[in-house]
Amino acid sequence: MKVPCAVVLTFTLLSSVLGWIGKETVEIDPEYCQSSDPSVGKLKVGVSRLAGRCVKATCTPGLIIYEGCNATGPPPCRFGKEDLSKEHPHCCPQAICS
């Protein structure tokens, strides 16, 4: 009971600091995940890649886990642009504070 609670707490804390986490349930296949999002397409189990934007998609049997960027920052800051030449989370927009 303690391990699942620790995992949930860790994901909650990370998502509040680093961004958001989502999931897509897919047909269970031991080798691949087929996303309904055309920008993700077919992923091999255990493989992660950017989903056409700074969102990391990771395939696990029966589930694709998505990790996105934090959408808020301290006022009066704004965010720059994504840098898709970098891996997640380094592709996330940086806060620009004046």
Number of domains in the chain: 1
* Residues 92/19, Cβ–Cβ less than 8 Å: yes
Distance CA 37, CA 22 (A): 13
Q: In the prediction, which pLDDT does 75 show?
A: 81
**Would residue 76 count as lying in a domain?**
yes
Q: Is the dihedral of CA 36, 89, 92, 78 positive or negative?
A: positive
**Would residue 6 count as lying in a domain?**
no
**Would residue 28 count as lying in a domain?**
yes
31, pLDDT greater than 80: yes
Domain that holds residue 22: 17-97
- pTM across the whole model: 0.74
Give SS3 for 29: coil
pLDDT in tens, 39-78: 999 999 999 999 889 999 999 999 999 999 987 777 888 8
Question: Which secondary-structure segment (H or E) carries 42?
Answer: strand 42-44
**Residue 87 in tokens:** 């891996």
